[in-house]
Amino acid sequence: MINYIIKKSLFFSYWIVLWFILYLLNVIPYNPKFIFCLSLLIILIVIICTNIYLQCYELDKQKKYNLIRFEIVTLIIKSIPLFFIINTQITQSDIDVSIVIIMIYLIWLFVNNTNVFDTYKKLLIRNIDNPKATPFMPQFVLDLYDYIYTLFI
């Protein structure tokens, strides 16, 4: 079992949640709606690719469950902020700032000798082998998913 330790600053999710909080508090005027929509799209693509992968390769039942649980809970948690800003408009400035934030993030990864694929690959592997709660994925959410899963499966 591999237990990767990954700095929180390497996760873009933390960056956009901070942006969201600052936006809600009217500290910054730029709406994070575009970047949340983009991140949800990327998560959906990852889920589709992962399911294709799971069809092609053998993983034990628990690891498959851990992976699917992680992806579904991530999708749900990333959707929550959108409910607060769903009726807001996205401006060109919001898109421009989103692109700048993404570029700064990529530079930050480079400075830390990593990249997007390695960072999230480590995250997926860690959550397949040893699923843990995180600040944005608290244990009660994982437990709730487990409970709902047992009701329907």
| Series of mean pLDDT values for 10-residue runs along the chain (153 residues) | 67 88 95 93 84 76 78 82 92 96 94 87 74 60 69 65
Residue-level pLDDT at 151:
67
Residue-level pLDDT at 75:
82
Residue-level pLDDT at 5:
67
Residue-level pLDDT at 91:
96
Long-range contacts of 128-137 (CB under 8 A, 24+ apart): 128/59, 128/63, 128/66, 128/67, 128/70, 129/1, 129/2, 129/3, 129/63, 129/66, 130/1, 130/3, 131/66, 131/69, 131/70, 136/13, 136/14, 136/17, 136/77, 137/70, 137/73, 137/74, 137/77
Residue-level pLDDT at 19:
94
Q: What is the pTM of this model?
A: 0.76
Identify the H or E element spanning 102.
helix 92-111
Q: What ranges do the domains of the chain cover? A: 8-152
